[in-house]
Structure 1
Amino acid sequence: MTGFGKIFIVIGIVFILIGVIWTFIGKLPGDLTFRRGNTTVYFPIMTSIVVSIVLSLIFYIIGKIR
């Protein structure tokens, strides 16, 4: 198996884990939602932080594999 194949396996596993967690949690605490009338504004602050951390870990692992 090449290094490129391992990278895709790691990314796939990470996406599966994120999908499972997202299914059970839905929206993270720290995500702000404002509703007024027919308008809803959603600020996914905590979700953005979690996605940033996960992507940083993925790129760190890819850097170590190379």
Structure 2
Amino acid sequence: MQRILITLGLVIASIGVLYPYLKQIGLGRLPGDIILRGQNSTFYFPVVSCIAISLLLTVIFNLFRSS
């Protein structure tokens, strides 16, 4: 359990460090992401970005599992 939590923490920290670079390549602003702007608020839900990240991680994890 400790190993999983440490790994999850490292993954979250690395995403935080890489976030500016991921934003530059357009991840998080793909067509299909939902952005609703009101007068005083903005609602943003990255549907397509979540699907793209999920597919990428699925492929990577399946490659490591089959080895």
Give the alignment's TM-score, normalised by structure 2. Answer: 0.60
Task: Pick the structure with greater CA Rg.
Answer: 1
Give the secondary-structure state (helix, strand or coil) at the position aligned to 1:25. coil
Please list every run of 5 or more consecutive structure 1 residues that lacks an aligned counterpart in the other structure: 1-14
Look up the match of 1:44: 46
How far the C-alpha of 1:57 sits from its partner, in A, is 0.7
Give the alignment's TM-score, normalised by structure 1. Answer: 0.60
Larger RCO of the pair (alpha carbons < 8 Å, separation 6+): 1
Look up the match of 1:5: none
What is the RMSD of the two structures over their aligned residues, measured on CA atoms? 2.1
Instruction: Give the number of equivalent residue pairs.
Output: 48
Please list every run of 5 or more consecutive structure 2 residues that lacks an aligned counterpart in the other structure: 1-14
